[in-house]
Copies of this chain bind each other. A is one copy, B any other.
Amino acid sequence: MSVTLDALNAADRAAFVTALAGLLAPLPEAAIDAAAAQRPFASVTTLHEALMRAAAADAPAVFGVLPDLSASDLRDASAGESGPTPEQAATLARGVAAHRARFGLPFVLCATRHDPASALARLTARLADDPAAAQAAALAELGHLLRQRLAASVDGPGLPGVNGRLSTHVLDTHGGRPAAGVALRLYALGAGRRLVTATTTNRDGRTDAPLLSGAPLRAGRYEIEFDLGPYFRDRVPETVGNLFLETVPLRFGIDEPEGHYHVALIATPWSYTCYRGS
């Protein structure tokens, strides 16, 4: 169900509040009402900014209705695939209680932007913060939540960016050309090791589709395995039984859910260079 920005701009104040209250459950109606006064909005992004200003101005009310991050939020965000373990869920519950006790605030986190380990690491870091930083962090997370909901629900110009992208490229500097036909696999390394996608490089050494796209990247740790062995086998003397490079693992962290991570591999049978590119 979505609504257009034009309709929101044209609606009477009560209708504006009702429309958005349905979409943005965690925001109190008073804050939405405050934003209504600033219409018309030229873009969805300026609507988002007005809502966030209103939320910041009425922070106590906002924090009164915002729920804590829960294990089921994390489970929903991962589409059931790599949700929190029972141990992680217990750690989360304890940490959330500590957060309430210490700051009198909910522990707000936009669940689609983190895998469980990354979410718990944020919670640990938050608990070491001072109260002002904790409140600022909670508002920032509310900002992420609202941005995603607006991007999903309101049609109009200036949609905020909420999706990230992970791409790769394999270059063969033994032969001086893109490395085509290299099988590769992306794993998410959370509690365990989960295959996310398996594909093969095309003739430009890239993959036909990004490894991840169309959604926020979940902050966490990942690994790509590149099968260089078959690609380089005939460039190495036959007498070599154990190739120096066979399957090359590249383990890396993602920290910007809306970012573009280009992870490149430049390889020979005896060396490789990998880096976060652009």
Chain A residues within 8 Å of B, Cβ to Cβ: 118, 121-122, 125, 171, 173-178, 204-205, 219-221, 236, 240-249, 251-255, 266, 268-278
Contacts and interface: CB of A to CB of B under 8 A. Distances in A.
17 contacts: A176-B268, A176-B269, A176-B270, A220-B242, A221-B242, A240-B255, A242-B255, A244-B252, A244-B253, A244-B255, A247-B251, A248-B251, A249-B251, A266-B271, A270-B276, A271-B275, A273-B273
A172 B253 CA distance: 18
A92 to B, nearest CB: 16
The list of the 9 closest CB pairs from A to B, nearest first, reads: A271-B275, A242-B253, A176-B270, A173-B271, A242-B255, A273-B273, A178-B278, A173-B270, A173-B268
Given A174-B270, A270-B276, 18 more contacts: A118-B241, A125-B241, A173-B275, A176-B244, A177-B278, A205-B278, A219-B241, A244-B252, A244-B253, A244-B255, A244-B276, A245-B251, A245-B252, A247-B251, A266-B271, A271-B275, A271-B276, A273-B273
Nearest to A175: B270
B219 A242 contact: yes
State the number of copies, please. Answer: 4
Contact of A276 (B176, B253, B277, B278): B176
A118 B242 CA distance: 7
Nearest to A272: B274
A16 B204 CA distance: 40
Contacts of A274: 271-272
A127 to B, nearest CB: 14
A169 to B, nearest CB: 8
Contacts of A240: 255
Given A205-B278, A219-B241, A174 B177 contact: no
A246 B253 contact: yes
B273 A241 contact: no
Nearest to A236: B176
A25 B65 CA distance: 82
Contacts of A272: 273-275
A32 to B, nearest CB: 30
A180 B113 CA distance: 28
The winner among A219, A221, A271 for most chain B CB atoms within 10 A is A271
